[in-house]
């Protein structure tokens, strides 16, 4: 569950695995409930979704809610880019292809690893409205036998939606888990949202 962050936002020091950053946060209210974004000047650290949220019903042609409810008056560039990208994703998804994806500064992206390779392959190769199986993504990342490792990368994705782990489904066509099974009600909404808007 996401808890409100008080205004004015206080910058805090965060040190994880030799990464020490001055953090800023923004809180978004949207069709998926609350989304909390943490970032420093070098990039996005985390996107946290409201695991107990009940998504808004989604119908073709209907508008989707999106509002920045808390955040600094003058956002640092990665936070500004992230909120702009997410607004486009929910409200005008065709614009996401023209907008920059913010840099990432979570420890997961600090060094080369198979997890990083999986996440970057997903970001670069699986586009809006498309899906891929865990096995297919393992092939894209360079190791067709590492299906379980792909599942682990999806569970530990620090920036969901931006890196679209909701597009990774089971080989039998079932949608599978989302956020380690904690946000399973959100995944079908995201897939349906993309399908509806791709057809428009």
Rounded alpha-carbon distances, angstroms, from residue 160 to 36, 82, 94, 103, 104: 11, 12, 19, 14, 12
* Active-site residue, from 40, 91, 165, 170: 165
Domain boundary among 97, 115, 145: 97
The answer to whether residue 7 is domain-embedded is no
15 vs 124, higher pLDDT: 124
> Average model confidence (pLDDT) for the chain?
88
Reported as a single tens digit per residue, the pLDDT across 33-89 is 999 999 999 999 999 999 999 998 876 666 789 999 999 989 999 999 999 999 999
Domain with 176 in it: 107-199
pLDDT at 199: 62
Domain boundary among 39, 66, 97: 97
pLDDT at 60: 66
One domain, residues 135 and 87: no
Q: Count structural domains, the chain.
A: 2
pTM over 0.85: yes
pLDDT reading at 15 higher than 50: no
Domain boundary among 79, 97, 115: 97
One domain, residues 42 and 117: no
pLDDT at 190: 96
The answer to whether residue 3 is domain-embedded is no
One domain, residues 114 and 60: no
The answer to whether residue 43 is domain-embedded is yes
User: How much of the chain exceeds pLDDT 90, in percent?
Assistant: 77
Burial class (CB in 10 A: 0-12, 13-18, 19+), 94: exposed
165 labelled catalytic: yes
One domain, residues 115 and 75: no
One domain, residues 82 and 111: no
What is the CATH number for 138? 1.10.10.10
The answer to whether residue 179 is domain-embedded is yes
pLDDT at 20: 77
């Amino acid at each position: 569950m996401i808890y409100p962050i008080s205004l004015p936002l206080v910058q805090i020091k965060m040190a994880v695995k030799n990464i020490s950053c001055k953090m800023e946060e923004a809180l978004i209210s949207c069709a998926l409930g609350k989304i909390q974004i943490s970032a420093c000047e070098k990039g996005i650290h985390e996107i946290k979704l409201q695991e107990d949220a009940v998504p808004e019903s989604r119908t073709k042609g209907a508008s989707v809610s999106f509002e920045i409810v808390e955040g600094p008056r003058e956002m640092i560039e990665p936070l500004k880019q992230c909120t702009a990208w997410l607004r486009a994703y929910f409200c005008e998804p065709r614009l996401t292809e023209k907008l920059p994806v913010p840099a990432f500064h979570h420890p997961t992206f600090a060094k080369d690893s198979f997890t990083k390779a999986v996440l970057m392959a997903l970001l670069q190769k699986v586009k809006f409205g498309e899906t891929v199986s865990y096995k297919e993504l393992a092939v894209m990342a360079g190791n067709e036998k590492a299906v379980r490792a792909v599942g682990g990368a999806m569970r530990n994705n620090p920036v969901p939606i931006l890196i679209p782990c909701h597009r990774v489904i089971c080989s039998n066509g079932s949608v599978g888990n989302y956020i380690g099974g904690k946000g399973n009600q959100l995944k079908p909404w995201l897939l349906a949202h993309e399908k509806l808007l791709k057809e428009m």
